[in-house]
Amino acid sequence: MIAKDAAEMDQRKRIAIYGGTFDPVHSGHLTIARRVSQLFAIDEFLFVPARVAPHKLDKEVSSSLHRYAMLALATQKEPHLRVSTFELDGAERQYTVDTLFHFRSQLGQSADMFFVMGADSWLEIKIWREWQRLMTLANLIVVTRPGYEFDDTHGPETAKTTDVRGLTHESVEAKVEAGKPNIFITDAVMLDVSATAVRQAARDDRGDSLEKLVPLEVADYIRKYRLYRNTNEA
């Protein structure tokens, strides 16, 4: 019986889902994907770019196609990093809770799901639609980000928070409980990179600064299609 349980555990897949605008994807996002995958033994790491209806926002966002293309270029050489068009395909903006429900329905109970977010998003979690239900659908991995304090009293009382800062992947793996979602806090990445900084570097066309923030393929794409040239961000 124990041997059978162990075999079943071995077969459970671990899928990470990383939502965001990705305008554009940058080295912070990619480092998070790689480190989180290693730390949590993730089999498939899915970037899920959000559909953004331009009229609903006060700031301009690049088209879904450009954002998707840059994600595809940035992840092309790493087989376990993939881009999902799930949120882009729908007619309207999806809420994260619906996206997680979709993947949960697709995967059934044979997989452990992890939703990945930065510490800045975590601070706003309580304004997300059905945020408490969201945490019943998947584990949450909150990644530290320079300039944002992590507040561990922030989660719902119903969910367990596990601080894995400073731990190795062997100890982190042991803390994942199959079928029991948890909120994990990790400091595996502490990179001061933002899409805002990338857009500013593109607008100002500052020497090689773009290449310090995004992979070469993405920097070339931004220049080729002259993205972010007219951004008015400070």
**Binding of ligand ATP by 24 (CB under 6 A):** no
Which range touches ligand ATP (CB under 6 A), out of 14-22, 92-100, 156-164, 171-179? 14-22
What distance in Å separates the CA atoms of residue 80 and residue 17, rounded to the nearest whole number? 12
**Binding of ligand ATP by 22 (CB under 6 A):** yes
Which range touches ligand ATP (CB under 6 A), out of 22-30, 35-43, 95-103, 224-232? 22-30
What distance in Å separates the CA atoms of residue 18 and residue 49, rounded to the nearest whole number? 8
**Binding of ligand ATP by 28 (CB under 6 A):** yes
Which range touches ligand ATP (CB under 6 A), out of 27-35, 74-82, 95-103, 106-114? 27-35
Please list every residue from 178 through 207 that binds ligand ATP, using CB under 6 A.
Answer: 189, 191, 193-196
What distance in Å separates the CA atoms of residue 126 and residue 230, rounded to the nearest whole number? 33
What ranges make up the beta strands (E) of the chain? 13-20, 44-49, 81-83, 111-118, 139-143, 160-163, 182-186
**Binding of ligand ATP by 231 (CB under 6 A):** no
CB of 163 to ligand ATP, least distance (A): 16
Please list every residue from 92 through 121 that binds ligand ATP, using CB under 6 A.
Answer: 117-118, 120-121
* 78 vs 233, beta carbon nearer ligand ATP: 233
* 8 vs 152, beta carbon nearer ligand ATP: 152
User: Is-contact 199 23, C-beta < 8 A?
Assistant: yes
What distance in Å separates the CA atoms of residue 110 and residue 100, rounded to the nearest whole number? 15
CB of 25 to ligand ATP, least distance (A): 8
Residue 18: C-alpha distances to residues 36, 49, 205, 218 (Å)? 11, 8, 29, 19
Two tokens, residue 127:
């304004």
Amino acid at residue number 218: V
Q: Which residues contact 230 (CB under 8 A, 6 or more apart)?
A: 203
CB of 110 to ligand ATP, least distance (A): 27
Residues binding ligand ATP (CB under 6 A)? 20-23, 28-29, 32, 117-118, 120-121, 143, 145, 189, 191, 193-196
